[in-house]
């Protein structure tokens, strides 16, 4: 029995990646690197398998090694950027992604914008210092601690800093903590953004009509947010998740079809508005949401019109091709999807097949046919 070469193992691993057998692919990449640790592509491909398995530090290590072996490989810099992003090294991630873009990688813009958003969220730019405007040093006086936590209600979420040694402007307002509110079907989601969060630092309590959040901030101080909710929820099906940079609270609506305007209940609920908001619970009634206008809007009709416009939109070029691919893929079975992915990826986008029996053993890389007027260039993924 002949021993497999590193190239053979790489080929098998790449096929396993296409079939989404990421752990098996990783084992093949390991074997290939054991045979030959000078192959930049082996480390590059293994980095991809680590990313799929969420082994982000290992993915970064392999991308770095690939760059050492082949410094101008844009995909290696791209993988380094993605790995650093998942490790929350946002500045390092941006450096790698910008380098990848300079080398011709076309997939970097979205990730660079994500890095910019995270960097802006975590680091405030250093203020310009003008000698004539330097504030006097004053002692920070904290408000007295309340005897009962229920008395602490912050309608506008804010940071209470306990850094008595800080130099502060006595007229400056506390810096707000960034929050967001969105609706996803039967859930309303409230997110609190702050760096360095730990699960033990967060306390969340639900009742049928209220939410109480208490967070111990890594930078010092406390964050409180106690609100009466827009409408009732099911506390037993509501939950929250904590990661190092945000708290995501999922509130299960009791009336799943009701649309919330905000997280908080209106200060003075209007019976007319409440009645309109609940019209959707009647099976035959049209969907109507809270509005200060006199005219009732049929949102079902608006939604239908928007869907029809989207379906009838005439696309050209790559947009039309992508839509065609998405339409076929969305309605296909598992084998058809595998065939589409493998044929497109291994043919560098020159061939699309929906027949898995035909594609399974076909190697498009060995017989690439460029479209008329095009040339074939080697692609490294």
The pLDDT score that the predictor gives to residue 366 is 61
State how far the Cα of 356 lies from the Cα of 270, in Å rounded to an integer: 59
Q: What is the pLDDT of residue 118?
A: 84
Return the pLDDT at 17: 86
Q: Which of the pair, 62 or 323, is modelled with greater confidence? A: 62
Q: Is 329 in contact with 337 (CB distance < 8 Å)?
A: yes
Residue 176 reports pLDDT greater than 80: no
pLDDT of residue 49: 92
pLDDT at 371: 59
In the predicted model, is pLDDT for residue 14 greater than 80?
yes
Cα gap 368→14, rounded to integer Å: 17
Q: Which residues pair with 125 in a beta bridge?
A: none
Q: Where are the domains of the chain?
A: 6-122, 134-265, 317-367
pLDDT tens-place string over residues 179-199: 888 877 788 889 898 888 888
For residue 186, the model assigns a pLDDT of 84
Q: Given pLDDT bands bounded at 50, 70 and 90, which one contains residue 252?
A: very high
pLDDT of residue 343: 77
Cα separation, 264 vs 211, in Å, equals: 9
Phi, psi (degrees; rounded to nearest 5) at 68: -60, -40
For position 301, what pLDDT does the model report? 59
Fold classification of 134-265 (topology level)? Immunoglobulin-like (2.60.40)
Is the confidence at residue 310, as pLDDT, over 80? no
Q: How confident is the model over 329-373, as pLDDT tens digits?
A: 777 788 888 888 777 777 666 777 888 888 777 766 666 666 556
Q: Span 294-318, mean pLDDT?
A: 54
Q: Is the pLDDT of residue 322 over 70?
A: no
- Say what percent of the chain tops pLDDT 90: 25
| Across 17-21, 222-226, 373-377, least confident range | 373-377
- Indicate the average pLDDT of the chain: 73
DSSP 182: E
- Quote the tokens at residue 381: 């993924």
pLDDT per residue over 200-251, tens digit each?
999 999 999 999 999 998 888 888 888 889 889 999 999 999 888 889 999 9
Residue range 6-122, CATH number = 1.25.40.10
Residue of higher predicted confidence among 45 and 129: 45
Give the pairing type, strands 210-216 and 202-206. antiparallel
pLDDT at 181: 85
**64: pLDDT strictly greater than 90:** yes
CA angle 162, 165, 169 (to 5 degrees): 85
Given a cut of 70, whether residue 42 has pLDDT beyond it is yes
């Amino acid at each position: 029995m002949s021993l497999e070469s590193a190239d053979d193992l790489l080929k098998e691993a790449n096929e396993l990646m296409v079939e989404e057998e990421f752990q098996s692919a990783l084992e093949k990449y390991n074997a290939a690197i054991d045979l030959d640790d000078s192959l930049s592509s082996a480390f590059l491909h293994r980095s991809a398998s680590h990313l799929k398995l969420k082994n982000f530090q290992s993915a970064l290590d392999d991308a770095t090694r690939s760059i050492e072996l082949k410094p101008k490989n844009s995909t290696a810099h791209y993988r380094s950027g993605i790995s650093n992003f998942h490790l929350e090294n946002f500045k390092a991630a941006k450096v790698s992604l910008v380098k990848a873009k300079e080398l011709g990688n076309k997939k970097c813009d979205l990730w660079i914008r994500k890095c910019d958003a995270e960097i802006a969220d975590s680091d405030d730019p250093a203020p310009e210092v003008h000698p004539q405007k330097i504030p006097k040093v004053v002692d920070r006086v904290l408000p007295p601690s309340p005897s009962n936590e229920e008395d602490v209600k912050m309608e506008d979420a804010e940071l209470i800093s306990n850094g008595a040694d800080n130099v502060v402007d006595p007229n400056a307002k506390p810096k707000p903590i960034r929050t967001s509110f969105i609706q996803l079907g039967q859930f309303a989601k409230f997110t609190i953004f702050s760096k360095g969060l730990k699960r033990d630092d967060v306390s969340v309590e639900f009742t049928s009509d209220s939410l109480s959040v208490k967070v111990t901030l890594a930078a010092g101080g406390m964050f409180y947010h106690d609100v009466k909710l827009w409408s009732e929820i099911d506390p037993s099906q509501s939950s929250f998740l904590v990661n190092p940079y945000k708290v995501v609270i999922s509130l299960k609506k009791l009336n799943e079809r009701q649309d919330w305007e905000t997280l908080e209940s209106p200060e003075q609920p209007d019976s007319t508005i409440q009645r309109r908001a609940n019209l959707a619970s009647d099976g035959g009634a049209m969907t109507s949401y809270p509005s200060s206008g006199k005219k009732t809007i049929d949102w079902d009709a608006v939604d239908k019109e928007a869907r029809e416009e989207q379906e009838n939109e005439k696309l050209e070029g790559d947009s039309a091709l992508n839509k065609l691919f998405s339409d076929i893929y969305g309605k296909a079975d598992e084998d058809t999807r595998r065939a589409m992915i493998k044929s497109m990826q291994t043919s560098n986008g020159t061939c699309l097949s929906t027949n898995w029996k035909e594609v399974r053993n076909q190697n498009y890389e060995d017989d690439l046919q460029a479209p008329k007027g095009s040339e074939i260039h080697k692609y490294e993924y």
